[in-house]
Amino acid sequence: LPLLVGVTGGIGSGKSTVCAMLVGMGCELFEADRVAKELQLQDPEVIAGIKALFGSEVYHCDDLGVLSIDRKLIASVVFSDSRKLEALNRLIHPKVGEAFQREILRCAKEGKRILCKEAAILFESGMYHELDRIIVVAANDGLRLERAVERGMGTREEIKRRMKAQWPQEQLIKRAHYVIFNDGTLDELRAQVEQVYQSLESLVASL
C-alpha cells in the first residue's frame, strides 16, 4: 500500500500549491474537497439526500441539462443549523472515504508509493486517523486573507468569517508531523516542500 499523507491548512494557506508541488515531485493526489463537490453533482444518492435536506430548489438544471448547485444557499443554512451540517457530512463523507479507498487500491496496483490527501478539514472530520503522516500548511492570517481575496474566494468579510469558523492554526500545528510555513516566496515554499518530500521518500524506503 502507498504511504498515506494528509495535507491540510486553513483557507488561503497554500494547501493546493503545496500539493501541486508534491505531485511535481512524484506523489499521487486525492483532493477530498473536490471529490465531495463532484459527488454533489454526480451521485444520485447524494443529490437525493441534499434535495431532502435543503429542498430541490438548491439544484438548477440549465437548458443543456447541466446540473448546478447553490452552494451559497447551503452554506448559509448549515451555518446556523449544525444538525443539517452533520446530516450533510454523514451523506457525503462515507462516499469520499470510498473514493479514497479506491484511489489507495489504484496506487497499490500501479506501484505508486506516496498518496497525498488534500482536505480543508482533516482533523475536524476525523479522517486523519487513517493517514500515516500529516502535513500542515500555515501562513499568517493577513497573508492568507490577501491571497484568498486575490484568488476570488469571496469578499474580505466572508473570508474572515470562514477563517474564524475553522480550527485555529495552532491546533492544526500541534497534530502535524510536518509544518510548512508559507509566509515567503514560492521558491521558499518549494524548498520546504522538497525537504518534506525527501523525508517521506526515506520513510517509504525504510518500510
Binding site for ATP, residues? 12-17
Minimum CB distance to ligand ATP smaller for 88 or for 122: 122
Can you tell me the distance from the alpha carbon of 168 to that of 166, in angstroms, rounded to the nearest whole number? 6
Is 8 a residue that touches ligand ATP (CB under 6 A)?
no
Is 12 a residue that touches ligand ATP (CB under 6 A)?
yes
Is 14 a residue that touches ligand ATP (CB under 6 A)?
yes
| Residue 16 Cβ vs ligand ATP, minimum distance, rounded to whole Å | 3
Is 120 a residue that touches ligand ATP (CB under 6 A)?
yes
Contact criterion met (CB below 8 Å) for 183 and 139 = yes
Which member of 2, 5, 16, 88 binds ligand ATP (CB under 6 A)? 16
Contact criterion met (CB below 8 Å) for 19 and 32 = no
Is 113 a residue that touches ligand ATP (CB under 6 A)?
no
| Residue 165 Cβ vs ligand ATP, minimum distance, rounded to whole Å | 12
Is 169 a residue that touches ligand ATP (CB under 6 A)?
no
| Residue 14 Cβ vs ligand ATP, minimum distance, rounded to whole Å | 4
Q: Residue 133: left (phi > 0), alpha (psi -120 to 50), or beta? A: beta
**Chain centre to alpha carbon of residue 158:** 19
Residues near ligand ATP, by CB under 6 A: 9, 11-17, 120, 147-148, 151, 153, 182, 185-186, 189
